[in-house]
Chains A and B, each alone.
Chain A
Amino acid sequence: MMLTCRELAEQADAFLDEETSLTQRLQFRLHMSMCNGCARFIGQMRVTRSLITAEARSLKAGQDDKTVDTCIDSILAAFNDGKQSGV
């Protein structure tokens, strides 16, 4: 039976994570070949997922070296104080 657009959109994550069965994947592909709305939606979800990953990388790469150094110094000092006092 033909998937509706709503059903396809609701299962988009499973499709993109390749957690769907062969039959489901064929149903997805058949639907998208005839429905440019759903083909666009899946394309948008792919881009969204790339951006979510890229955002995390960007935040990590953008950490200020001086701030990181200060935080690490503070953590290591607290750790070493604890060791000396036997905590």
Chain B
Amino acid sequence: MTAQAENDAEIVRGLTAGERGAFESLYRRHNVSMVRVASAILRNRASAEEVAHETWIAVLRNIEGFEARSSLAGWIFTILSNKAKTRVKRDGRVVSLDTAANDDDFADAFDGRGRWKDKPDLWDEMTPERVVAGRQILDHVSTAIEELPPAQRAVLVLRAQQELESQEVCEILEITEGNMRILLHRARRTLRQAINEVAS
């Protein structure tokens, strides 16, 4: 059993036994990201918070049925995503996250021979210590994440922040693996550009 599977099993045992501490630990680990992912699907923060709330109740009601075929986080985010999509349909809207085909302007950074037009700056102030300690930088990153296109934001949160497996992310968001990679790469490049504004 992997460390993550053992950890999941421990939390499931705690939830099944009705331990508040186990639930609080799970809630603190995932709720912020759940609201972000639901916001990306629903395009509305208040609705996203309601859906996250409903998801937690569903998790508690169904925890005994969790069969560990995916990670616990993957299972929770699947419930969240299904609830958010149901709400979108109920509201008579159509929201698809399968939108990687849009071109971005990264190609403009290169000349006709594929060389940088302007070489990237040296981020000599961005030592790992400063990066982690820098409240202002992290706030700047938060703002940039909130401004990402919804599909990029959802993929970034699930894959890069929640560290779900690629396959889980694709299933949760109903996108192809190729599409997921493009969305993730574009999200990281957009954030690099945002950080460049304060780092150079």
Tell me the A residues contacting B by CB distance below 8 Å: 4-7, 9-10, 12-13, 36-38, 40-41, 43-45, 47-56, 58-60, 63, 68, 71-72, 74-76, 78-79, 82
Contacts and interface: CB of A to CB of B under 8 A. Distances in A.
B106 A9 contact: yes
Contacts of A68: 24, 27-28
A44 B196 contact: yes
Q: Is the interface of B mostly helix, strand, loop or mixed?
A: helix
B107 interface: yes
Interface of B: 20, 23-24, 27-29, 31-33, 53, 56-57, 60-61, 106-107, 109-110, 113-116, 119-123, 126, 128, 131-132, 135, 137-138, 141-142, 145, 156-157, 160-162, 181, 184-185, 188, 191-192, 195-196, 199
A13 B116 contact: no
A5 B115 contact: yes
Q: Is the interface of A mostly helix, strand, loop or mixed?
A: helix
Contacts of A40: 119-123
A44 B160 contact: no
A50 B132 CA distance: 8
Residue of B31, B107, B120, B131 most packed against chain A (CB within 10 A): B120
Contacts of B126: 47
Given A9-B110, A51-B138, A59-B142, 20 more contacts: A4-B115, A5-B110, A6-B109, A10-B185, A44-B121, A44-B199, A45-B188, A47-B123, A50-B131, A53-B160, A58-B138, A60-B28, A63-B28, A63-B31, A68-B28, A71-B31, A76-B23, A76-B60, A78-B53, A79-B61
